[in-house]
Chain A
């Protein structure tokens, strides 16, 4: 008898006190838990590897599932960290190259080999840094509307990438046409300036 009465009271207690949890259950049953695994729009270089039918999708470890995508985001984060650190190394190399280059322009030709070697180092470091986000797994969302620091970072990337290519082309042409050296210098300064700005803008 006592057990029955206690049971009644417990049922009564639960039926009147558990409402918030019931409301929450109702909300969770209405809300869809599905999140699109890939953004609507992303880079073609990323699509080749990480698109719905990308090359990586043929490996079981990278089949497009929420669990794998969560791991992919971790891979992306690690790759972007390397992108950041390598970015600092490249900036340091560019600065050193600028100092050596300016010495050459004052007539100190003994530094020519150092300038060429440093050029190779900066190129390897720069293009490796640039390649990382191009081939990393894509982010979850397409670009948001309006201007953001990441958009400015990308616009500046187009400028420093073009300037880097121009600097390299002109460096080869200087051997046959010495008058091109001021354009080489201008391209190099543009590359350095826009590269440094693209790093600073991430701060905001």
Chain B
């Protein structure tokens, strides 16, 4: 009797789990249209760098058009600030030959009208840290567009701010993104 109960419990757990999974659709990023950029400040100047090589997947609830899960990976080497010396310096300070990617995986996503509050783990320079940021979601004809921005502190990820002419940059990195799925 016990055994029958266990088998039924097992099958029902698997079925519920499968039913939940099949409700969601895995959607990949449109790399051609998506980009992520960062901005940094030095007392002498400010600069931006952009990456058009965003890899991302969302898990979408097709019925409600809600994003349930989100994962993003960007190669640090793909950021272009129009100055190869500066980009090379970023590879050095972030040790991108050892830790080539910045990644984000959501831990909780809550919907507030067209805005999403994303809680997730950002992994950068081999250090994982929980972050929370707001994302704007737009349902277009055949795609979903999400835009947003957030800031991180280099020192939170054990990165020493780079210097120019002996003066260190501000330790803030402001990130903004436009991603299409």
Co-complex (A, B): yes
Which A residues fall within an 8 A CB radius of B? 1, 4-5, 8-9, 11-12, 15-16, 19-21, 23-24, 26-28, 30-31, 33, 35, 37, 39, 66-67, 69-70, 73-74, 76-77, 81, 84-85, 139-146, 148-150, 202-204
The 28 listed contacts between A and B (C-beta, < 8 Å) are A8-B10, A12-B16, A12-B17, A15-B17, A19-B59, A19-B69, A20-B59, A20-B71, A20-B105, A21-B71, A26-B57, A28-B103, A31-B73, A35-B97, A70-B98, A73-B92, A76-B88, A77-B89, A81-B163, A139-B85, A139-B87, A140-B84, A140-B87, A141-B88, A143-B84, A144-B83, A144-B84, A204-B45
Residues in A neighbouring B26, C-beta threshold 8 A: 23
A interface, over-half SS = helix
Can you list, as one digit per residue, whether each of B1-29 has a CB less than 8 Å from chain A (1) or not (0)?
A: 01000100110010011001100001000
Residues in B neighbouring A76, C-beta threshold 8 A: 88, 92
- Measured as residues with beta carbon below 8 angstroms from the partner, the interface class of chain B is 35 or more
Q: Which of B10, B83, B85, B165 has the most CB of A within 10 A?
A: B85
Are B82 and A23 closer than 8 Å at their CB atoms?
A: no
Q: How many Å lie between the Cα of A5 and that of B10 in the bound state?
A: 9
| Closest A-B pairs by Cβ, 5 of them | A139-B88, A23-B71, A73-B92, A24-B71, A140-B88
Q: How many Å lie between the Cα of A145 and that of B9 in the bound state?
A: 62
Q: How many Å lie between the Cα of A133 and that of B61 in the bound state?
A: 55
Are A146 and B56 closer than 8 Å at their CB atoms?
A: no
* CB closest chain-B residue, reference A75: B92
Q: How many Å lie between the Cα of A145 and that of B45 in the bound state?
A: 20
Given contacts A12-B13, A27-B71, contact A202 B105 (CB under 8 A): no
Q: How many Å lie between the Cα of A28 and that of B59 in the bound state?
A: 16
* CB closest chain-A residue, reference B6: A4
Are B92 and A77 closer than 8 Å at their CB atoms?
A: yes
B95: min CB distance to chain A, Å:
6
* CB closest chain-A residue, reference B80: A144
